Amino acid sequence: MTRIIFVRHGQTEWNLKGKYQGQTDVPLSEEGIAQAHKLAENFPTKRLDAIYSSDLSRAMETARIAAGKFGLEVQEEPAFREVNFGEWEGLSYEEIATRWPKVAGDFFRRPDALSIPGGETFQVLQERAIKRISGIVDASEGQTVAVFAHGAILRTVLCHALHMPLAYLWAIRQSNTAVSIVAYEDGWSSVELMNSTAHLSMQKPQI
């Protein structure tokens, strides 16, 4: 069995402003850095064998702060970048809805059918994520590893782990520095924890 601890990055200023970040490289805010330190102090497992992260700075910085507890190097993984929001990056939902009303409506109602102008589909996003995760699982039998990434890509990963259609993508919440844990064994996945922010209140989740 391989256990993967999935973590969303800490808060950014664009999170606070409601701007779509996508693959724009936005750093952590002061609050995001504080969240990452709380995660490191109260990480949900005593041992990690490896740490992987999206190469975008908000994920890498969150991962490096947590990695300090385990004495591990963070392995950069471009495959774990956030969805490419194309022409939507840097805009708020209100701005998007004004310029692309029909497409913006599909964002929440039909994410599986969404075509972002100049960006990726959620199907493509899920495929690149699962391809890399499958490789990590195959190379990490008996290990516990962490993957630091972003809200949308982690939702697609959890949909896959739950054997759930992408149409229900937004039924899964992913808060800043939220922890989700999935066990992989014999081609099957089992979700053990989802969207836990217990570390932010100094409570350690039990697994």
Q: Which residues are catalytic?
A: 9, 82
What are the strands, taking DSSP E only, across 27-140?
A: 50-53, 74-76
| Phi, psi of 83, rounded to the nearest 5 degrees | -55, 145
Find the radius of gyration of the CA atoms of the chain. Answer: 16
The residues pairing with 8 across neighbouring beta strands, listed in sequence order, are: 149
- The DSSP output letter for 28 is B
CA distance linking residue 71 with residue 7, whole number of Å: 18
DSSP state letters, 145-186: EEEEE-HHHHHHHHHHHTT--GGGGGGS---TT-EEEEEEET
Burial of 158 (0-12, 13-18, 19+ CB in 10 A): buried
CA distance linking residue 122 with residue 151, whole number of Å: 12
